[in-house]
Structure 1
């Protein structure tokens, strides 16, 4: 089978698996009847009611011209979506938009498969270079849709291109742009640190009054496709000045818009807006995020530094320490403007992870555990058995996250991009890295004394959620989005894997009886959880331009494997 057909068959199997898991389609005896045709397949069931369709098992059956059924091997996800459109209740624009995302995803998958390296080689790479080899969100089917990128753009700017790029620096008139930083950082210190003295002097020489501008980096794609068009008036008037390329090279992470400096690894990571549609939303940076990032970081740092549990666990917080906000002079204050047009300029600077590593430690994004063959190689290198290694991973992930949620009433969005795992010199998971804060931090509606006064007590930035909704971030992002696909790799028997996971929850519960009410409210061992269908949301949302990012609606309940698991330690 060609690489294209293999990747296409795998994407089709994932499409059917996830649509069945989300109850968008209801197979009977591994058969889906779609009007005048049907699909059959071989599948197994996992935790949370999930489906796993075998890629080489899917067949498409239609009625032949002589009245007999004609069955053939099916490998085409686009054909399947078109076949299922009526049953799914999709209109033409939604079918066309999703087909475009599927086609882009498949093309990226083929490029990745054609340039894949062995897991042993992957483990020897710097963490910034591992990102470009990871296969994407395990639940979202069209996880590399990137509507707005051309084929050349994908070859240049996508993570799997693994091609270093330089950022272009802009000077934006003060008043149109606003810098914010944590109390220990000045605007000049951030820019000076990022550019170095030579580039700084060169750029200052291009401006009559350099200090009347706020400086920030810009993604080269955004400069070409958005800044030079949408901001043409400001460029012509000298309110925005293109200074030139910065001296350092960067690689994009899985999120595409976050860049890691590979020339100077001690310099900041940079989060930049991109006006592309990917995994359901346009990848701009909302104004409230750039404005709030440094103060949210400073608040969390205060909690971190005082917290004995997080200190003992060695949990690292990668703060979003500085930002630049650029408001569009007309659109930002006009009502009903689609958000893709108001989030086009700005940046957030984030702490790098490299200075946090102790001698002999290594770090990798959590999503790496789902890369084919990689976790097996990690376990083999550690010399530990699978149960010991998995147990260390679960403890590393759950102990700080359970503490944050129940002691402070704070939750992050702990999916594979937002967390990284630091391994000990022996290769065992040991410490957790948490990043991507301001866009994903939620706090409990109930006031919690331990977290003190929130940084947005007057102008709300942090979403307030009841306990069972805070719980859902842990459930959807970590349990469903990482641990369930990891369990499907069968490193351990399912009952042992979920028993170890339940053991971590029970350990926290017995160790902290003072949080009994909160633990009852979060109910991590409840019989069922609410279902939030990520792929169904994409299809329900369609491709209409919206002025806000709407929430994902619930659709029924899913069984919880922790409810019946026998706790293990």
Structure 2
């Protein structure tokens, strides 16, 4: 039976089953080669039919006369969909089944152009990702059971960022940490609450959410009283101190040792643990409340490095979160078109920022030392659902069960709809609000699979979406539009400003290259809907929007979502060849690494 959010788990820290380890390795190897080929880090060549099935066969020559053979399907946006079970490694001594991602990357070091220090980092990340993938395989469920899971539980079966193959590196976590604090552990833990002297921290919130109101929502009255006494015992005023939750890992690894002086002087007071238990979303540092799902999600910093960056919380962007949320929410509430889409903007209602007293005076310190302590409180999707509605992150649509069936296949079957009609409704919920924010308001976020929540009716037909993550991922045009006037000056001054063709990648890369190019292969294999048809349905959404708002014609040209070719965002190139950006004093504020152009399937009539 599917688990509930209250099921306890005894998760092993390592996988001891050899078959599971090899199966996970084959899948990771297929993911790696597919994304490397997509980003043109490697260039496979056509080969004779390997297995007699007629599947397109490919050979990839790497270093020292070694080659890899496999079958793969091509798709929109230049994508590669590699069959994990088809890999063989070919040497002068013959060929053998291939399943080891670290062997591949060492075989291909010269071909890819990885320097030795980068290669070591990649191998470490691959090993950690391989271990996490094996843990996921050990507890995999059939598609029907996945479809039955609650929102909180389904997060624990996700496979990670589809575009980045080393997507579970989590540098800083021990094996025990990974078995406790990762989504695939599907466990539960309590947060550490602290109180910070008012001279050290700053609180920001949307209108209607002050500190007492927030704490009354998040903590029971008797626990607030106990916590207040703890502040008084250290000589502080509990009403003046800033209270915030801390991840237990961050308390042990960062706050206790690096804020030791402030703790000793009573400027940081450990209040105790939360009564409620939490579990991470895929982003790891964002946590859901298992015991009170109506309480706010909490985003907290973690000094771990995963998928490109250290996962702290930027004080500047954290401070902006409630203000950008207020603006985006106000637009959704009063714009008739947005209101009609039913889009839910999961507002980041409040945030706390606590710079380190010493590191804050060291501007050249790597950015992770400026992102040690803080919190963002975000609305949970549960509070916005009508009776009978179900919510799942869009990323779930890429899941395939232990029985080989995709979750989306199960949902289409349950809905009773024709597959194309189900996809049309899904895209009709997804595109209009994202397009309207981009075209009408010159604003983009990052609507990738984890930041879009698909809301379905009781029959499992998609009806609308919810969007989240406005603290760090809201971007504007480099010139001011009249629509920006409601943003406070201090917020408008610090949000990223990108050229229109870069802002367009909120659709082209986050949605199309980052999600639909994978979904297109699934619906073709399992639902009998050609991948080209999915792209046609997506194109129809863009054309329908443009027909409805002809007055925005100039802006349609700015973003040019239907251009024949578009730039290829190359996240793995950035990850593997970032040139030490992990150690910079500032996060990389430049646009994502781009490599060449790809055909845009949205351009095809």
| Band the TM-score falls in, shorter-chain normalisation | over 0.9
Which stretch of structure 1 is more off in the superposition, 244-253 or 84-93? 84-93
Q: Distance in 2 between matches of 1:44 and 1:115?
A: 28
Counterpart position of 1:501 = 538
Q: CA deviation digits over 1:59-117, x for unaligned, max 9?
A: 212234xxxxx221111110000111112221222111111111111111111111112
- 1:488 match: secondary structure: helix
Q: CA deviation digits over 1:155-207, x for unaligned, max 9?
A: 00000111011111011111101111112111111112111101101111112
Q: CA deviation at 1:119?
A: 2.0
Counterpart position of 2:597 = 557
Q: CA deviation at 1:223?
A: 0.5
Q: CA deviation at 1:337?
A: 1.0
Counterpart position of 1:67 = none
Q: CA deviation at 1:321?
A: 0.7
Query: Does structure 1 retain, via aligned residues, the 8 Å contact 2:359–2:365?
Result: yes
Query: Does structure 2 retain, via aligned residues, the 8 Å contact 1:338–1:547?
Result: yes
Identify the match of residue 532 of structure 1 among 569, 574, 583: 569
Q: CA deviation digits over 1:265-317, x for unaligned, max 9?
A: 11111000000000010000000122111111222222222110111111001
Q: Give the 5 Å matches for 1:233-382.
A: 233-372=261-400, 373-382=406-415
- 2:572 match: secondary structure: helix
- 2:329 match: secondary structure: helix
Identify the match of residue 26 of structure 1 among 33, 36, 43: 43
Counterpart position of 2:80 = 51
Identify the match of residue 583 of structure 2 among 538, 545, 549: 545
Q: CA deviation at 1:501?
A: 0.9
Q: Give the 5 Å matches for 1:126-141.
A: 126-141=150-165
- 2:168 match: secondary structure: coil
Query: Does structure 2 retain, via aligned residues, the 8 Å contact 1:272–1:285?
Result: yes
Q: Does 1:404 align with 2:437?
A: yes
Counterpart position of 1:421 = 454
Q: Distance in 1 between matches of 2:174 and 2:106?
A: 23
Instruction: Please report the TM-score for the alignment, with normalisation by the length of structure 1.
Output: 0.96
Counterpart position of 1:481 = 514
Counterpart position of 1:16 = 33
Identify the match of residue 223 of structure 1 among 251, 257, 268: 251
Q: Distance in 2 between matches of 1:451 and 1:380?
A: 44
Q: Distance in 2 between matches of 1:509 and 1:459?
A: 27
Q: Give the 5 Å matches for 1:504-523.
A: 504-523=541-560
- 2:283 match: secondary structure: coil
Q: Distance in 1 between matches of 2:481 and 2:465?
A: 24
Q: Distance in 1 between matches of 2:324 and 2:169?
A: 31
- 1:344 match: secondary structure: coil
Q: Does 1:61 align with 2:90?
A: yes
Query: Unpaired segments of 5 or more residues in structure 2?
Result: 1-17, 47-57, 401-405
Q: Distance in 2 between matches of 1:252 and 1:335?
A: 31
Aligned-pair RMSD on alpha carbons? 1.4
Q: CA deviation at 1:35?
A: 2.8
Q: Does 1:163 align with 2:187?
A: yes
Counterpart position of 2:49 = none
Q: CA deviation digits over 1:327-382, x for unaligned, max 9?
A: 11121132211011110100000111111111111111110100102111111111
Q: Distance in 1 between matches of 2:482 and 2:462?
A: 32
Instruction: Please report the TM-score for the alignment, with normalisation by the length of structure 2.
Output: 0.90
Q: Does 1:452 align with 2:469?
A: no
- 2:386 match: secondary structure: coil
Q: Does 1:393 align with 2:429?
A: no
Query: Does structure 1 retain, via aligned residues, the 8 Å contact 2:437–2:443?
Result: yes
Check 1:221–1:521 CA distance in 2 against 1; reply closer, same or farther (3 A cut): same
Query: Unpaired segments of 5 or more residues in structure 1?
Result: 65-69
Q: Distance in 1 between matches of 2:494 and 2:333?
A: 23
- 2:532 match: secondary structure: helix
Q: Distance in 1 between matches of 2:303 and 2:454?
A: 30
- 1:270 match: secondary structure: strand
Q: Distance in 2 between matches of 1:562 and 1:297?
A: 30
- 2:489 match: secondary structure: coil
